[in-house]
Amino acid sequence: MRWGTAGRAAAGGVLGSAVLGGLASLGAASYFARAVLTPDGEGPTDHVVHDLDAESVTLSRTAESEVPGRYGLWDEERTAHLRMGQILETTDSDVTREVLGLDFGDFRPGPARFNQYFYAQPPDEALGLSTEHVTVEAEIGDLPAWFVPAGDGGDRWAVLVHGRGALRFECVRAVRALHDAGLNVLVPAYRNDADAPHGLDGRYTLGLSEWRDVEDAVRYALDRGAGTVTLGGWSMGGAICMQVLAQSDLAPLVDGVFLDCPVLDWGHVLRHHAHVNNLPTPVALLARTVMGSDSLRWLAGVSETVDVAQTDWVTRAEELTHPLLVMHSTADDFVPIGPSRAVAVARPDLVTYEEWDVARHCKLWNTDSERWERAVTEFVSRPG
């Protein structure tokens, strides 16, 4: 998730030293909107491995690598992957972490990519759980998915939805706990993923079209005998799940949703990233207008309007009817915690709220997997 860097480009390239009139404002807002809605490419490597042996790895010190917990590391070409544990030593420039295992490849010192998902393989390879590689027939086309059947053959399912610009590996962290709780688990791709069909314009719609792919995944589960379905979403995946609840005819068959660092108000996120990238707040507001206007949406590169107001669950809290487990961190600097807190306060009858600190965006499990898995297990095991 790197669209903030595009925001800085807008500030420096399109905006110049200030927003100097209507055209400049519209240009900056359009650039910002496109950055938000455009799927991220591979991007540059973000770390350097300086030393490596069977016991430890020394890599460049960054905001990511110095946080406690368990994480993964790919080499530059993603042909090798290792898993890291506790921090053993820290200097001004480097962090040395415990090596928990080498999953594949020949990892050597050099450029590397941090992996917040910890795992980098499907559930059968990462967890040793029987996994079917299946296809979900969707409106957009065939979507690849992993299906992990419950050991007891029960009719409770979970459908897991990764975040913006993320990979399905993001969801693997949840699979063991759900499997042990007796749920069948489905992890589908959705439109504009690297391994899925692209939409007409190749842009995200912040959950406002992607929900239809998750609806088709729920329908797949029902066709295979699901009685009820629990949804789980990370970041924008949470926004997608919320649109399933709001718009899908299958919503009555969803028995609850657990959310990890969810986007519960895209307007709030847009304002936050405008601020982070030194863009005036009016640019974020105008970007919303560009996305949502039939006459201006072409400036954002979208073939259908994106109505950001539909993603504001703080304002729409009274519409909620499903139990939610909302987990978020005060240290989340990508999707700020405020809307999660607000929804929890507005609907204590439906929302179970778990607040972390230290953990960065969607890294709650990494910093305290026991707490994360306990919260999710208790949520999916609740009576009724």
pLDDT of residue 151: 84
DSSP state of 33: H
DSSP state of 106: -
SS3 content of the chain, % helix, strand, coil (to 5): 35, 25, 40
Give the CATH number of the domain where residue 204 resides.
3.40.50.1820
34 and 104: one domain? no
235 and 328: one domain? yes
> Are the beta carbons of 362 and 170 closer than 8 angstroms?
yes
63 and 108: one domain? yes
Strand 81-90 versus strand 71-75 pairing type: antiparallel
228 and 142: one domain? yes
206 and 321: one domain? yes
d(CA 262, CA 313): 11
235 and 358: one domain? yes
143 and 216: one domain? yes
30 and 58: one domain? no
Which residue, of 255, 286, 306, is where some domain finishes? Answer: 306
pLDDT of residue 25: 86
- Which stretches of the chain drop beneath a pLDDT of 70? 1-23
Nearest alpha carbon to residue 188 among 245, 269, 235, 132: 132
d(CA 187, CA 177): 14
The SS3 call for residue 40 is: coil
User: pLDDT (tens digit, 9 = 90+) per residue, 117-174?
Assistant: 999 999 999 999 999 999 999 999 999 999 999 988 799 999 999 999 999 999 999 9
282 and 321: one domain? no
Whole-prediction pTM = 0.94
Q: Which domain holds residue 53?
A: 47-115
The tokens of 371 are what? 């707490």
Burial class of residue 114 (count of CB atoms within 10 Å of its CB; 0-12, 13-18, 19+): middle
d(CA 193, CA 168): 9
pLDDT of residue 4: 52
Query: Total domain count for the chain?
Result: 3
Which residue, of 283, 306, 329, is where some domain finishes? Answer: 306
77 and 187: one domain? no
d(CA 375, CA 377): 6
91 DSSP β-pair partners: none
pLDDT of residue 22: 63
Please, what is the Cα angle at 354 between 316 and 274, to 5 degrees?
55
DSSP per-residue letters across 225-266: T-SEEEEEEETHHHHHHHHHHHH-TTGGGEEEEEEES--S-H
User: pLDDT (tens digit, 9 = 90+) per residue, 186-239?
Assistant: 999 999 999 999 999 999 999 999 999 999 999 999 999 999 999 999 999 999
> DSSP H helical segments within the chain, as ranges?
3-9, 22-37, 123-127, 172-180, 211-223, 236-247, 266-276, 281-292, 338-346, 364-367, 369-380
Q: Give me the half-sphere count of Cα atoms (radius 13 Å) on the Cβ side of residue 193.
A: 24
Which residue, of 306, 338, 369, is where some domain finishes? Answer: 306
140 and 242: one domain? yes
Inter-residue long-range contacts of 50-54, CB under 8 Å, 24+ positions, other chains counted: 50/94, 50/109, 51/96, 51/109, 52/99, 52/107, 52/108, 52/109, 53/99, 54/99
pLDDT of residue 16: 47
pLDDT of residue 19: 42
127 and 203: one domain? yes
Please, what is the Cα angle at 63 between 57 and 67, to 5 degrees?
65
